Structure formats: C-alpha cells, structure tokens
Structure 1
Amino acid sequence: MTRNSTPTRDVFLPVAAQPSIDTLVEYAQDAEELGYDRAWLPETWGRDAVTVLTAIAERTDEIGIGTSIANVYSRSPALIGQTAATLQEVSDGRLRVGLGPSGPAVVEGWHGVDYDRPLRRTRETIDIIRLVLSGDRVEYDGDIFTLSGLRLRCDPPDTPPGLDAAGMGPKSVELAGRFADGWHALMLTRDGLGDRLDDLRRGAELGDREFEDLRVTLSLPCLALDDRERARGLARNHLAFYVGAMGTFYREALERQGYEDEAVEIASEWANRNHDAAEAAVSDELLDDLGVAGTPDECRERYAEWEAIDGVDAVSVSFPRGAEPGEIDATMRALAPE
C-alpha cells in the first residue's frame, strides 16, 4: 500500500490540566506559527473540548482544529452533529472530528452512563452525524437510536468536516475503515500499527470503500528535552498511568503487541498503589516502541522513523501528562516541521 509520501505534522494538545484556556490557545498559536497542520484537543474530565476549540478557532487563522476524541456517550449523536456544524462555521472550514467510545473510566466513572455496545454506538453515531451535516431530515432507525422528523435548523456546512474514529483493537479499527473518513491510532508499536492498518484495509473493503481515501492520524507521545532522564521519566509515568489507571484497553493493546508480561505487571503494581514500581516495570524497549522521549537530536531522528511508516498520513506530537508548559513548548519547537 502507498499513501502520502510526506505525512503532515500535527499537535495533540495536552490531555492533562493546563493553567488556563489561554495556555491552550497559545500552544495552538505557536503550533500554527511553527507550521503544524492541525491542533487536536482531547476531552476527558477537564475543560470541555468545544469551548476551547472555539477559542482556538477565533484566535488562529490557518491551523486545522479537531477533537481527539469526543466520546459517543456524553453527547447525543445529533448534538455532536450540531456541534460539528457550528465549529466548522466558526473555524471557516478547519474542523475535523475525531470520536470514539473512550472507556468505562470516563464514561461510567465521570459521566455516569453505562458503557454498553461501544462499537455499535460508534457506528450509529457516525451515521447520524452524517445525516445531520447533510441538512436533510434526519430519519434513522438503528439498534440504539431512533430519530425522526427534524433537520438542522441552520444551513449545513458547504464542506462537511471529516469524521475519524479512534480505536486500538481489531474490530474498532475495522469499523473506522468501514464507516468513518479516517482512523486515530494510539498506543501502538510499529508492528502493532502494521497489524491495525491491515484491519483498516479490511474494513474499507467490507464497506466497499477506497482505502486510499481514509486518513490515518497517529498520536505519538513525545518529549524532547536537554534533560534526557527527565524526558524519559515523564514518558514512563505517562505510560504506566494509562496502562494502570484507565481501564483494560491499554493493557490489552500492549498484550496484543507482545508485551503481555510487562502490561500485567504495570497494571498490577498500579492497582496496588505501587506507582513507582509500575513505572519501573516500563522497560526502555517498551518506552521506545511506543513513543519518542529523550534529547532533541535523538527525538528528531526517531520521530522521522515514525513518519516513514507507509500508511500514516499525519503524526501528531502528543505530550506526557506530567509535562510542564515550558517542556511542551520546547518539544513542539524541537519537532516542528522544517
């Protein structure tokens, strides 16, 4: 398979709490100035993505914006469609929507909603968003959602935003290939990414779609600092937190990719509140298989290796949850497009 010869460089804005909305806007403004193609914003249990993306859209000129991810439980599909239409308008057509089921830690623990039928809910949400954005009357009879009688009350966007689905497992990636416009990849080794790209291709074939038309965005944890040990320590903490504290999905993703023993040890130590031991269980090999952390020179070299992977259209620089604003800025500058 042959895709874009030169992937774009995106920024995945910090998932951890930042000092202010202005801080997040300033990251996006800096990314725009540095030549990054798009600023993606996660949404967990901090500031909501819609308000922050609106502020970014109003205070930037060219950089694309996107959600990665908006979960499909906390908003109805129609509301996500309305929001997408509005953000596309306020950004003058710069929006791309990344969505997915997230996980029980967020959906049940924060939103108080049963985490049921995540794949089916994601598929129906994509269907309904497309109907909303078309401007036609929304008539839908699904297994989860039944809608009838209304259409978007404002003009639909002239160019609907792309709809990407996030996923780590074979079936979720296949779903992205079958129904979405693209796939958001994370927590993957190079070999694991290759396996999931095969799933994406299979989904495209099942949906009678062209694989070449799908956009693949890889979220790559990065931290490029002169203090190499600080960079690797924060990356190690980030990985241990996600495997240990954010449900079974990340652990299972590592197990599928040949790191079963380490994944189980990390999760077990974290569950027993031995956080230092959980971090220590993250080997250098695992750390380097999943991200880029170290000095600026070595990070630039290793980042280029990820960009060279056939099938990836954008490599998004993301940041460990404990990174401070100055460290985020330094990493963005170290890995900026040339």
Structure 2
Amino acid sequence: MYSSADIDNLEERTLYETFLLERIFNLERKWTAERHVEEITFWAGGPDVVGERTHTLYADSINFGPAFTEIGMPLLFVTAFKLLDMVIEWGVEANGRRVRHQFEDKLKEWRPSAGLVLPPAMHAEPWLRDVTVALYERLYEYRNTIIHRRTFSTPNGGLHIVREGKTPATPTTEIQISADVLKQLADFAVGLVMVLLGQRALDTFEVMRLKLCADQLSSLHGLSKFGQLRPVHIRMNYLVPPENISDPIDVAALHQLAVRKIPGEEVIQELAVGILNAEGCTVWMLTNAQLMSSPSTIDVEYAREHGVFLALSSEVRRALTQKKHDEQTQK
C-alpha cells in the first residue's frame, strides 16, 4: 500500500495542476525564500555578535490584470480543488477500493470509521488529513457551481460564488475568497501533494509552514487554528579559536539569542561550530532536531561526534578574513 507505483500514479495525475499553480503564484520561489537560512556569527569567548546576514522573507503581492482576474480566478480555484480531489481519489485507490463518481461517496471513504489506511505523511501528521477533508467537504459544491452553473463573480480581485439550492426549499449559500486566500489554498494543495510524493521532506519546517498555511485557510475549512507563527531558519555560526577549545557551548543561550533576533517568528535553529586550526577552519553542523535532543550545554567534541561536516559559508569566510585583518593590524 502506497508503493512506489502508487507514488508514481499520484505524480502523473497531479503534474500539470502543480505546475500551473506553482508558476502562477511563484510558489517555488516563495518556498526557496522561506527556507533561506539567516546567519548570526560570533566568536567563542567574545561578548558580541561579529557578523550577520539578514534575508527578508519573500512576500509576493498578487496583482492580476482585469482580464486574468475575470477568467483566471475561477480557474485557479477549480485547479486547487482538483489537486485535493486527486489526493482523495488516490488514497481510496491505494487502499484497493473502487472510486465512486460522487464527491459525497469519496468523502465517506475518508471517514475515520471507514478504516482507510492513510498515506505516511498523514499518518505522521493526522491534522493534514483533517484539513484536507474539511476543505474538500466545504468546497466541492462551490466547485460544481463554477463548472455547471457559473453563478460567480470576481469582485476586487477575489472570487464570489453563489450556490443556489437544488430545490426551492433549499437555501442559497455563498462564499467569498480573496486573492490572498486563494493563493494559500493553492499553496496548501501543492504542498500537500509534494509531501505525499516525498518531493518535500515533512520536516519541522514544512510542518510549521503547512500549519501556517492551514491557519490562513480557517475561513474555508472551519477548523480551529494552530496559532502557528512564520517559521524562520537561523544558523548560529559559533567560531572557536584554539584558546577556547575547551570552553562549554551554551546551546540554550544561543537559542534565546536567535529568538531575540527575530521576534514574532518561529525559530528553527541550526548550530554550526567552526573549529580553527593551523590548516584553517572546519565546521560541524547540528540540525534543529539534534539541538532539541542535545544537552543544554555541549562542547566541541559533542559537535564533532554528532554533527555533519559543513563547507564554510560566505558569512563565516567573511568573519575569518576580518579576524585575520584585525590580528595583523594589532601587530
């Protein structure tokens, strides 16, 4: 179940829709920027930060032309929904069950009582299933309205859909989706497919990013918010000269420094310990997951034993050049 053949099946189904939404909303660029590592560099034994590389998170403003707004917004809504629909169908098929045509029948297969075995990503993060199903259940009638009745408009660059009752006794309902919320819907749908395919690791950062996206879609799915802050990677470059090789490294203090540097964000910290020697500098990096399980105070040997070898970043090279210049100036 959920074999490599199943994964290939999902990728083939969703290839065009993910391509379309990524290109229109610049999602690939957005993801790259959001994963960008902020760097803070300082020397062991020194009280002050000696270098920083600050990167402003990429924020894309949506400013579609009038013609595209009128035609494209319903297209984008239907395309994002189609990704959710294909995920729903894929899960049913991967369980060896027949996919029925009606949306209501597909939803029944995803009820907890139906015993559907979830994809690994949803098994690891069950809320992904909850948000996906809630979005699907809320939106499928509005998708039908766009396709079959066309009672929609595109005011102020958004999408307004009016769903008339099937009988005179059934009340009319409507939904208003702004361009920003539509982008979040596309972001969530594409991100969901990427983690199901294994093309994006469902690591700490991606879980936080998808939760932030789900929070911004709460008006559509109606579930409680996670209260997720924007996740930001910070790499602490901790450079250790020979005279400080035996000094303890206060991991907890470094985390607090990182948090103070970017208030109001969710900090995902990495620690790169640079050890100076006669040949230059070797760097060992501890990931966020390793830091979360490490003692509050470590030493250089701990970094060597548990970290991975890392090439010098431009920020570290800059700090080393500056130190060499300062030492020569003092002679």
- Tell me which structure has the larger Cα radius of gyration: 2
What TM-score, normalized to structure 2?
0.23
What TM-score, normalized to structure 1?
0.23
